[in-house]
Amino acid sequence: MTAEALFSLAPLLILFPLLGLVVNIIAGRRLGERGVGIVASAAVGLAFVIAILQFIALRMDPSGATIHIADWIVIGQLEVEWALQIDTLSVTMMLMVTGVGGLIHIYAVGYMHDDVRFQGDPSRFPRFFVYFNLFIAAMLLLVTGDSYLTMFVGWEGVGLCSYLLISFWYEKGEDGIGNALAGKKAFVVNRIGDFGFIIAMLITFWFFGTLTFEEVFNEAEAMGAGAVGAATAITLFLLVGAAGKSAQIPLFVWLPDAMAGPTPVSALIHAATMVTAGIYMLVRNAALLEIATVTPDIIAIIGAATALLAASIAVARFDIKRVLAYSTISQLGFMIAAVGIGAYVAAIFHLVAHAFFKALLFLSAGSVIQGVEHGHHRADSHEEHFNPNDMRVMGGLRTRMKATFWVYLIGALALVGIPPLAGFFSKDEILADALLVSPAVYWVLVGSAFLTAFYMGRQILMVFFGKPRSKAAEAAEESPAVMVAPLVVLAILSVGGGLINSPGLLPLTHFLEDTLEGLREPEFVAAVAAISTLLAVLAIVLAWLVYGRRPMAHDPVRRLGSLWTAIRHRWWVDGFYDWLIVSRYISLSHWLAEVADEQFLHDWVHDTVIARSFVRATNWLASVLDLRLIDRGFDGLGALTRRGAGGLGALQTGYVRNYAVAVFIGMVLVVSYLLLS
Amino acid sequence: MIPGVSMTHILILSGVLFTLGTLGVLIRRNAIVMFMSIELMLNASNLAFVGFARSMGALSGQVFVFFVIAVAAAEVAVGLALIVAVYRSRSSIDVDRVSDLKG
Amino acid sequence: MTVEFAIFLSLAAVAVGASIAMLVSRNAVYSALFLVIVLFAIAVLFLLLSAAFIAMVQVAIYAGAIMVLFLFVIMLLGTENVESEPSHPWQFATALVLSFGLIIQFLIVANGLPGESGGDFGEVAEGFGSPAGIGTLLFEEYLIPFEVTSLLLLAAMVGAIVLTRWERSK
């Protein structure tokens, strides 16, 4: 098969998940849980096969291809077509999305089976997989789109799926509305980012007259110094979009709340794939970033700051998924920082590796949660407000959930960056690059890495070691094979994932070279690796000292006092936003509703101005115009007609001879006329 | 050759007879006599037709007279049937006693 | 005064006189008989005007068939005298005035005839008005109207029968 023939299969990539979701929409109820799961997983699996075929095709023809599907918008100068861009960058992403996505689909079959029963609505099982397939399709559209606009469609599509899945149990959560609010928050915060994206698109079109990536980059390159301002503006606004989607300062607040969704959602969307869209988008625009002046620095600062801030907040979380959520934000900060310092390959490398081990961690956490939930039901304990996510009710799960414990440990070590696991290589590449470009960023990131190791150690120790701190933890049980099997695969990937860009060979760098021009070959700096490994081990030891030795009533870190309070309250960022934006917005809404709408518009404008003058006008119309003028006019007309009819009726005597006279008169008159004319 | 007789004479005679016919329709109340007056009018017009046919040497005028006679026959048949029907319902053929058409 | 004019004049006098008599006679039977006289006079005028065939048709159909029908109906209904007193007095006056106007108009028309038809009747082709000539014209040029006439007569016949039928069932 030629590369061209393989490239032409690319549309199937998106088609298969769409097909799966259509089948599940139509026949989901009849297929049963097993059927729905098989259809959804098979759809993603087939997409994965197509992605592999694209990869093979790229080995044959590294230049890639653009697969034109249809014209979309053709308005004057603006020409946007539906086209899929197949190059090494997008194929890397699609392999990751479909591969990890497929594993999470399989896991979700087992997880959702129990979840829908715990939450009490088994009929929602097919819906979950419809959303999941829709997400995969949108994500693939995002990574394959060849223009800003097609990418934006995928971008919005994944945002929609995120919203739908966060509030999947929309009637649950705090006060029965918590999940819905979390979904709303994610959606609104993402809108802010999307706003930036749209502005970036408008500037792009205004300045370059096109929206296709390739044309824009070529134009920018051709213009040289003339494009610096535009590139800076565009990338700055793209950064806003990326900050929204990839949960960076200042728009990261939605991601922890997004943990309201079922755990596979957290794993797939809010850890492995969707949140990396921002990084992917920035890397895709590497050509513009190279031209732009200020933006890379800002990106690096934001990334590093986010990494540190989120890592510090994660230390004080008790919800197992929230720890991982802040960890995700922190790791995304690493990637963003990597983009900022120009280490695009490192960013993508860490993105892929992170997808492996963070998906693994989330899925394992899901396994833990469900194990505890099972234990809760088994132990028949009737504790009010039992929260299976709370690490304080866990402990000692090492023995009860052996497989989960081991894969969790692998994931955690990979995240922490213990050699030779995936996270070690990817994080190290970023750190090495950072040291070369900007020591400040490097030290911030190292600090974050230290905190990462600390909170992961804390989490492992709280969840799996010590003694069970509740009856539920005592009775926890291992998850079924359909959930454990994907975990094992992901664990293997987390262990071996570092090989995709192992120092010396650098396969990923060489692979991406075909798409991203002018890449630096990352160097493996032994000192950097040694320092970060040492710090990681130190942090774990510290965690053991703090959490491992004795049963825990209160969090020992609490002794840090005001610092604890700060991180416990997430540095008051949410509160600050609430105070700065949300409460202002709500009081503005109140003012608009009560004063502007109710009092001004409704009471005054409507009731007083419009209604009263309308009534007056209609009164005048009714009594003066209608009654006096129109009514009388028509009455008069009627009377006239009646009188006229009476008069004419008299002519109609009914006597034939009268009619004959009339005819005769007419005849004489007509003949007279003819004679006289 | 019809020396001394011109189309004008024929036309005058035709006109006089036609006028007498209309007068009959207007002043007589007996439906049958009214009918006869109508026949008189038809004959007056026939006379004019034949006169013009002779004057212009066009035989079509006579053919028209033939048609007029045919129509008159049909008219009389139907008209008299109507009169009979009216008489049956009202026992009279006085047209002044029939005013059902009054509005 | 030529012989022909004398004939015309006398025929005209007979026709007009009989017409007036028809109008004024109280008895419908007399009216019918006066009308027969008028029709005969006109038939002779037709002969004078070289319309032999039409003259025969006039006598046969009008004076024969139609007038017999009139008389038959008059006698069937027994309505020789219907008018006792005149109604609508203004009707009579109006009719007279209008008739006078009409005659004036006819006179104007007759006097205003254009030159060629204004003078005495001239020569006419051999066989003008003969049955053969009329027949040829009728069956060649006026074939369709002729056939339609037969339909008309049929319709009249059916109509007459329907109108005069006794409703025995009632």
Q: In C, which residues are within 8 Å of A658 by CB distance?
A: 88, 91
- A574 lies in the same domain as A482: no
Residue A297's φ and ψ, nearest 5 degrees, are -65, -45
A580/A555 same-domain check: no
Residue B44 within any structural domain of the chain: yes
Phi, psi of A145 (to 5 degrees): -55, 140
Which residue in the set A654, A660, A664 is minimally distant from B102, CB to CB? Answer: A654
Predicted complex: ipTM over 0.85: yes
Confidence of residue A132 (pLDDT cuts 50, 70, 90): very high
Q: Domain range spanning residue A609?
A: 569-623
- For A631, which DSSP code? I
A477 and A382 within one domain: yes
From CA A263, how far away is CA A108, in angstroms rounded?
A: 9
Mutate which: C102, C103, C111, C113, vs A, most A CBs within 10 A: C102
d(CA A147, CA A170): 34
Within 8 A of B100 by CB-CB distance, chain A residues are 654
Asked which of A528, A561, A594 is the last residue of a domain, the reply is: A561
* Residue C104: count of CB within 10 angstroms of its CB: 15
Banded pLDDT at A197 (limits 50, 70, 90): very high
Output the pLDDT for position A240: 92
Residue B41 lies in a domain: yes
- The residue range of the domain holding C66 is 1-81
Total number of domains constituting chain A: 2
CA–CA gap between residue C8 and residue A234 (Å, rounded) = 118
A258-303 tens-digit pLDDT: 888 888 998 888 888 888 999 999 999 988 888 888 888 999 999 9
With tokens 């065939």, the residue in question is: C53
Q: How many CB pairs under 8 A join A and C?
A: 25
Confidence of residue A464 (pLDDT cuts 50, 70, 90): confident
- Tell me what percent of the residues of chain A surpass a pLDDT of 90: 28
The whole-model pTM stands at 0.65
Mutate to test the interface with A, among C82, C98, C106 (most CBs of A within 10 A): C98
Number of domains making up chain C: 2
Among the three residues A623, A649, A664, which one is the final residue of a domain in this structure?
A623
The token duo for A34 is: 């097993």
Average pLDDT over residues C10-33: 91
Going by pLDDT thresholds of 50, 70 and 90, the confidence category of residue A79 is confident
Q: Tell which of A524, A542, A561 closes a domain.
A: A561
Q: Which range is most confident: A555-569, A642-656, C114-128?
A: A642-656
Q: Assign residue A70 a region: left if phi > 0, alpha if psi is -120 to 50, beta otherwise?
A: beta
Domain count, chain B: 1
Contact criterion met (CB below 8 Å) for A307 and A331:
yes
Contact C49 B57 (CB under 8 A): no
Shortest Cα distance, chain B CAs vs residue C169, angstroms: 16
pLDDT for res C15: 94
Residues A476 and A577 in one domain: no
Q: Could you tell me if A463 and A428 lie in one domain? A: yes
Q: For residue B72, is it within any domain?
A: yes
Q: For residue C118, what pLDDT band results from cuts at 50, 70 and 90? A: low
**Is residue C140 located within the same domain as residue C72?**
no
Task: For residue A404, give the nearest of A426, A374, A383 by alpha carbon.
Answer: A374
Placement of tokens 């069932």 in the chain: C169
pLDDT at C116 exceeding the cut of 70: no
Residue C124: CB partners within 8 Å, gap ≥ 6?
B54, B57, C50
Q: Which pLDDT tens digit goes with each residue over A296-315? A: 899 999 999 999 999 988 88
Chain C residue whose CA is closest to B27: C92
pLDDT digits (tens, 9 = 90+) for A542-587: 888 887 766 565 666 666 667 777 777 777 777 787 777 778 888 8
Residue C98 in domain: no
How does residue C85 score in pLDDT terms, banded at 50, 70 and 90? low
Q: Inform me whether the C-beta atom of residue C81 falls under 8 Å from chain A C-beta atoms.
A: no
Q: Do A661 and B26 touch (CB under 8 A)?
A: yes
Q: What pLDDT is recorded for position C37?
A: 93
Q: Is residue C49 part of a domain?
A: yes
The answer to whether A252 touches A198, Cβ cutoff 8 Å, is no
